[in-house]
A and B are shown apart, each in its own frame.
Chain A
Amino acid sequence: MALLTMAAIAVLVALGAIVPQRLSTPPAEFAAWVQRSSIISGVARALGLTDVYHAPLFLGVAGLFTLNLMLCTVKQGSKAWRRYRSRLPVLATERRPEAGDRFVVSPADYTSTGGSVVTWLEREGYAVRSLGPGQWEGRRRWFGHLILPGFHVGLVLVIAGALAVSLFSFRGYVELAEGQGFENTPEQLLSTSYGPLAGKPSGEFAMRLDAFRVAYHQNGQVAVRESDVTFFHDQGETPTVIASSHPHSMEGYRVYQTVSFGWAPHLRMAFVGGNTAEGFVNIGKDGQSGLTLPGSSLKAEFRLDETRSDAGVSPGLLQAKVSKTGGGVVFEGQLQPGAAADLGDGTSLTYLDLRRWTGVSIVRTPGLWVVYLGGSFALLALLLHFLVVPDRLHVLALGGERGPGYAVTGHRWRYQGSYGDRLDALAERLGAKLADLPDGTERRVPERLA
């Protein structure tokens, strides 16, 4: 089952990487592919391969894989326990030899009491217990039995955490000009996406963009994008910096610096009767048209002097064209910071100053810590599996017709071709060590081996 589900997942995700995916491919590109390869795309769509990560087939296989992981963890745990309790073949003839079993006989003469065997085994790192006259058992790194089940538990946690993230996650996006504030509510976000069970943000915190900086490499590539922001929350204010790959956590959300940025003329509209409205109009690097002016239905097109200087756009000159919604230009000309333009009907537009704007993502992913915990657990278990292999020895004092010496049986809980050699060396060292001891000690030999 494990093999089948892993193979099926590998095949499906490999196909998912090759076949254009409906959600991640630009719509025009996807439509062109469907038209260009009608047979292949037809088959792919019929099998759900154009949205493979949400296809019932993939989700079913992933579910089976998870179920298998859980069953496997239980099975491995009980198997490890049975093995831990079982006796090695030299003492329990009813037990069939397993892959890790090795049996060697020490070539040295028997010259010692059991006490020295215990001492020797303990020096080798074994926990020793006596199994009767002339019989000892040593266990080493017994906790290694828990490693493989632990690895599988880690993977189950990763999957459980991923499920929680997909169900409860929230993502929003907002663009802020320097000095502009934002309360974490859906109404203020330009775009949002919710998991099926995700709650809506409800003003858990507020933030203000104090400054945005962008720096360039010599070849024109962006080198640094970072924002000074101040968070407002129940405990007070927290000024901080967010930058690419360095988000800030706040009240269960993470706030990310995104790649979007540009210039935002800070405008004040004055209307008949003395009413005023202030706001920012974010314009991208390439300029945008048809932006609505604050507090009015007037549309404006702005263009900036793109000459770069230490102060940014130099000297902040704004080419403005303001039109009524139904058409008809009411103002067209260049504005300097602080200058006002008469738009007619008692309305005026004052260009206060020029500021930067940047995009900020607000993300909440409850359950992500479970993914991280599970991943860390699984990797740690894998590392330990590599380094820590439990093994145990049974040592029997021999005598009588079988000749003097020790029978040493070992079992290592992972296949290792050279384990037999190591066990030989161990038995030899055991014999050599004991051969150094003075003669005349009591011989204690199990009856059935004597």
Chain B
Amino acid sequence: MNADSTEIIAIWIAEFCYAVAAALLVIGFAFKKERLIRYSFVAALVGLAPHSVAIIVRWVQAGHAPYIQFYEVILSDTWFGVAIFLGLVWRFPRLRPAGLLALPLTFVLLGIGVFSSTEIRALPPTFKTYWLILHILFAKLTYGSFLVAADLGLLYLLKERYLRRRGVVVKVNPHIAELAPEGGSVDGLLSESFYRRLPSLARMDELSYQFAVAGFLFCGTMIAAGAVWANNAWGEYWGWDPVETWSLVTWLIYGIFLHLRLQRGWKGSRSAWYVLGGLVVALLAFFVMPYIMDSVHAAYLGRSFQQ
């Protein structure tokens, strides 16, 4: 078996595992089957192994980390997304359902990647710098963090909706609190529910915020590393390139989020909706803008290299 076929087989196995993981999670969530959700976590964990193999094979074959083609970007971004999600679940096992967004999105993105060109492209001379590695590493960490923040936001909204429908008042300020209707208790209401295993709303809200802050930090570092690299390559640290501009927009969007949170006390559902919207902007910046705009970053998608 040559390296080419090893990579292709590995990536298809990973894709299959993620498909199973996503399906199990969605079905488990829809029909409140906790066992299926546990299995989905295992399937995602199993999928990460061939995914890692595919990345290593690609890396060895190309002679550089997988980051300069659409296929490679998808390959590595989805790996980071799944790894960060699994790390979260490892630390907080009760958050297994948080893959509700991450796993289907990984399945779809990796599917798109697999069907795109897998041709290996050589590195242009301007790419031979450590700043590029930092720039790209933090781009992937940014994507993974924003994805998990949105995941937790989604889970928050689902649990909150469940509680509200059962008469629970969710108080947001000064702290998020779940107030049961008179004569009852939240634990009692949740005792028969699938949601009882999830952390409290306050905990999910807090974790979502922490991942958003981490993403904001990573995004800032990515922009800074890209600026230093651009200055070393072209003598311009900022060129208003569409993709770098949209990265700035993403950073500002999350900067606004931090202000809303710290100054205006935005917590709970408003915060959750915001991080979901933020993810949409981040996806636009990472996966759409390089494709539709004339950009230095177009090389990511296998378009012409700007050397």
Contacts and interface: CB of A to CB of B under 8 A. Distances in A.
Interface stretch (A80-88, A220-228, A288-296, A391-399): A220-228
B249 A417 contact: no
A317 interface: no
Contact of B252 (A6, A18, A53, A382): A6
A162 B200 CA distance: 45
Interface of B: 121-129, 131-132, 173-176, 200, 202-203, 205-206, 209-210, 213-214, 216-217, 220-221, 224, 227-229, 231-235, 237-238, 240, 242, 245-246, 248-249, 252-253, 255-256, 259-263, 265, 267, 289, 293, 305, 307
Contacts of A361: 234-235
Contact of B124 (A2, A6, A221): A221
Contact of B237 (A2, A217, A246, A371): A371
B202 A417 contact: yes
Nearest to B216: A382
Given A221-B124, A415-B262, 18 more contacts: A6-B252, A13-B248, A24-B240, A217-B122, A219-B122, A244-B126, A244-B233, A244-B307, A245-B131, A254-B235, A256-B233, A365-B235, A368-B237, A375-B227, A379-B217, A379-B221, A379-B224, A382-B217
B262 to A, nearest CB: 8
Contacts of A386: 210, 213-214, 217
Interface in A211-233: 217-219, 221-226
B234 A256 contact: yes
- Interface of B, helix, strand, loop or mixed by DSSP: helix
Is chain A's interface secondary structure helix, strand, loop, or mixed overall?
Answer: mixed
A375 B200 CA distance: 37
16 contacts: A3-B256, A13-B248, A17-B246, A99-B265, A218-B122, A219-B121, A223-B123, A224-B125, A244-B125, A246-B232, A375-B227, A382-B216, A415-B209, A417-B200, A417-B203, A417-B205
B282 to A, nearest CB: 13
Nearest to B260: A3
Interface string A374-389: 0110110011011000
Interface residues of A, number: 57
Interface in A123-155: none
A50 interface: no
A96 B201 CA distance: 25
B240 A16 contact: yes
Most central of B132, B217, B289 by chain A CB within 10 Å: B217
Contacts of A278: none
A64 to B, nearest CB: 14
